[in-house]
Copies of this chain bind each other. A is one copy, B any other.
Amino acid sequence: MMVVKVGGRTLGNIPLIARDLVGHQPFVLVHGGGDLVTEYSKRMGVEPRIVTSPSGIRSRYTDERELEVFVMVLAGKVNKEIVSSLIDLGVGAIGISGVDGPTLIAERKRRIIVVERGRRRIIPGGYTGRIEEVRTDHLRLLLDSGYNVVMAPLARGTQGEMLNVDGDQAASRLSSALKPDYLIMLSDVEGVILDGELVSRLTPEEAEELAVRLGAGMNRKLMMAADVARSGVRVVISSGLVDEPITEALNGAGTHVIPS
Interface residues of A (CB under 8 A from B): 40, 43-45, 68, 71-77, 79-80, 83-84, 87-88, 92-97, 99-102, 137-138, 141-142, 145, 147, 154, 156, 160, 162
A43, closest chain B residue (CB): B44
A93 contacts which chain B residues (CB < 8 A)? 100-101
Least Cβ–Cβ distance between A22 and chain B, in angstroms: 15
A40 contacts which chain B residues (CB < 8 A)? 44, 72
Q: How many copies does the complex hold?
A: 2
Least Cβ–Cβ distance between A83 and chain B, in angstroms: 6
Q: List 7 A-B contacts (CB under 8 A).
A: A43-B45, A74-B76, A76-B76, A76-B77, A80-B97, A80-B99, A84-B160
**Distance in angstroms between the alpha carbons of A79 and B72 in the assembled complex:** 10
A154 contacts which chain B residues (CB < 8 A)? 80
Least Cβ–Cβ distance between A44 and chain B, in angstroms: 5
Select A101's contact among B44, B73, B88, B94, beta carbons within 8 Å: B94
Given known contacts A43-B44, A94-B101, A138-B142, A80 and B87 CB-to-CB distance under 8 angstroms: no
Given known contacts A76-B75, A76-B76, A138-B142, A94 and B84 CB-to-CB distance under 8 angstroms: no
